[in-house]
Chains A and B, each alone.
Chain A
Amino acid sequence: MGNFLRNVSRNKALLFMVLPGAIWFFFFSYLPLAGTIVAFKEYRVSRKGFWASIFNSEWVGWDNFKFLFSTEDAFVITRNTLLYNIAFIALGLVFSVLMAIILSELVSRKMSKIYQTGMFLPYFLSWVIVGYFVFSFLSMDRGLLNQMLGWFGMEPVQWYSDPKYWPYILVFVNLWKMVGYNSVVYLAAILGIDRSLYEAAMIDGANKWQQIRRITIPMLKPIITIMTLLAVGRIFYADFGLFYQVPRDSGTLYAVTNVIDTYVYRGLMTTGEIGMSAAAGLYQSVVGFTLVILANYAVRRIDKDSSLF
């Protein structure tokens, strides 16, 4: 106990800085954990308020989870969620790092800032707006792409009813929106690299490419690992807006656009069973948690310093 107090007083400045975040986590992440219980109940409203409703609702065991696995859609939504997220993580990483390096190598600081802001902007747009952007390109009769196809004498394409284009469209749109934000993180890391390393390399006669390969990328490795590990933890969560708004909820595209989150939304918006949506959320978190632990374990085996914990 005495040890603990001494620790606290020695680190009080640091602990104080952690406090707001810790409080936030306590209220919005740890406290609601108790509500996970709803996933195993058939939630019914009780006169006596929220907690009484939870306690008085009937236990139903694993029944709430059944709808996730009951049809062949279970395979489709799991596959789509996983593959899209893997593509987003892998391509997002490549493009973000690439952009960060290019931005850091630009001589003109001013231009670099302009490009950075331009790339950053889409991140702040809501998916609904992005959905309309995309629609203005892909609309059947008024869309830019179909008009361009028309100039070349080609037949217009029914973009919103042909699934074969959508894996590419979705990956592209997601990269367009997310790369700017992530590259800023990497850019900050690059700017933090000790300049003397590059000076030494230049004296040894290393060219730009060699500097990037031998200094920048190795120095970025820890942050790359951390960012990727964090992304892996959310691999079972799909970005609802991307998969619902951008394809305009078009039924014929479901084979390539239906993911866990959209499936849950569509399945439950009429019945509104809180228990079932809680079950879906719990399932996603448990799988995400397991994957983070596994990935972290793997990273630790290879390079102990880069692992999260």
Chain B
Amino acid sequence: MKKGKKRVSLAISMLAAFSLVLSACGGGGNEAASGGEGTAEKPVDLIWYTIGTPQKDVDKVMTEVSKYTAEKIGANVTMKMIDWGDYQQKMQVLVASGEPMDIIFTSSGGFDYVQNARKGAFMELDSLIDEYGKGIKDTINPAFLEGSKVDGHNYAIPANKELPQQEVWRFNKNVADEYGIKTEGIRTLNSLEPLLKTVKDKAPDITPFAMDKNYVPYVPYDYVIQNLPMAVKLDTTDYKIVNILETPEMKEALTTMNKYYKAGYVAPEAATTGSTTDLMTSGKWLLDRAQTQPLADNSWSASYGYPVVSTPASDAIITNNSVQGSMMAISANSEYPEKAMEFLNLLNTDPVLRNMVDSGIEGTHYNKTADNRVENLPEAKNYDMPSYSLGNNMLLYLNPNDPENKWDEFKTFNEAGVDSPILSFNFDPKNVSSELAAVQNVKEQFWSSLMTGTVDPKTYLPQAIEKFNQAGLEKVMAEAQTQLDAWKAENNK
């Protein structure tokens, strides 16, 4: 017995010793940052993780980028791309395990910004922006920096792009023309019915209303957490958080959706369909709902290969979700946070750098046709980057099809946006995380089938509401309300 105990304690102390050694290894290197480094002669290395399908020529382009940045700010840049579907999960592991990195793409959808800021993954940037990021402050729409504050601090630099989000009904123009469908006067969900009916009756092989399992009818509320049923009405005065499923607007919308589903306007398996790509490729659809931005009709038509037109389904609202759509944070374990901020500043203000990162090397990947216009060369397929995720969009050169006033249209669109009442309020789920896990499960169970109209809300809505409450939604809502009231008092709303 005694011997056994001794062995156990020996094993434990060995483990402890081992882990100490490891932590000592991981901890080193942070202090040794200064000492003549970070100049054009002796540039520091910045590691940049970003989202998108890894491109063949990334290293080649980054070598060119590094030549430019080494001279300007004394930093080399290495970019590591992680594919769309893997980004969230891989980044979570990389960050949690302390992998060296400096700049991280984050957004409300991929590698959640607010949650990771709170977990300590990102560095707080307030003083760094003041010191090294003046250009950012002058260039991008101030609503971006204001709206992306978490608990009063900035943890990332948002990309300057479309600011509000606006829902539209998109129409497949070929189908609409063929069956004489007029899109004037369409705005509400109910106004679609005659259109859907016409197509359903005349063309049985066309899906009148295309949607996947992420579809949610539009109601004039802003969600506290995306796709959880807690929301605040857009024209609220008392800032009360309500259960969206209990609002008259949502009840009516779900009844309409169920009517549409039963009438066969919606694909029978919408509630389990991951994406509508197949439908979009085949062109056998009449309408769907999407988020728009200026000139979106052009880019949709270009990518589908047939004309698509759209009419608004909602106002343009500036929400947390839209403000946090694409951002770059500095990792908490960055060795050179100042250099990283200088780089972000340059990326968001310098057209040469921004376009190099976006389109690659002039003469290899693209040719300039005018001062602010480019056209792709065949090699561009080896460096096809998602523009939205790489910093200030308004510095980008125009493509052959873009109108001259493209970025002015964005500015007009941004100015027309209306702030959501809870813009920049970010719920902290810390005290209710076990309830939230249960609530999330209930959401997964009921959400898609209710929202796509697959089930009858008369029977399923009460069931869903009851299960949500059993899982602790009321407690989560009470916690959110407390935080919102405190936030409201603090911000004099």
Contact = CB atoms under 8 A, between A and B. Distances in A.
A267 B26 contact: no
Contact of B15 (A34, A55, A248, A250): A34
B22 A51 contact: yes
A272 B115 contact: yes
Interface string A265-276: 011111111101
Q: How large is the interface on A (under 10, 10 to 19, 20 to 34, 35 or more residues)?
A: 35 or more
B440 interface: yes
A256 to B, nearest CB: 12
Contact of B440 (A51, A72, A266): A266
A271 B115 contact: yes
Interface in B14-30: 15, 19-20, 22-23, 25-27, 30
B98 interface: yes
A45 B23 contact: no
Contacts of A254: 444-445
Interface stretch (B268-276, B279-287, B362-370): B268-276
Contacts, number: 143
A44 B120 contact: yes
Contacts of A70: 434-435, 438, 471-472
B26 A49 contact: yes
A47 B333 contact: yes
B424 interface: no
B449 A252 contact: yes
Contact of B332 (A47, A266, A269): A47
A59 interface: no
A48 B26 contact: yes
A45 B472 contact: no
A67 interface: yes
Contacts of B19: 34, 51
Q: How large is the interface on B (under 10, 10 to 19, 20 to 34, 35 or more residues)?
A: 35 or more
Contacts of A161: 271, 449, 454-455
B212 to A, nearest CB: 12
B96 A45 contact: yes
B472 A263 contact: no
Contacts of B338: none
Which of B22, B433, B440, B447 is packed against the most chain A CB atoms within 10 Å? B433
Interface string B115-128: 10001110000000
Given A49-B26, A51-B26, A276-B433, A251 B449 contact: yes
Contacts of A248: 272
Contacts of A276: 433-434, 437
A67 B438 contact: yes
Interface in A36-82: 42-53, 55, 63-64, 66-67, 70-73
A26 to B, nearest CB: 12
A73 B470 CA distance: 10
B23 A52 contact: yes
A158 interface: yes
Contacts of A64: 434
A237 interface: no
Contacts of B269: 139-141, 160
A249 interface: yes
A149 to B, nearest CB: 14
12 contacts: A34-B19, A50-B23, A50-B26, A160-B272, A258-B445, A266-B440, A266-B444, A267-B437, A268-B437, A270-B112, A271-B437, A272-B115
Closest 7 CB pairs of A and B: A49-B26, A267-B437, A51-B23, A67-B434, A49-B98, A67-B437, A248-B272
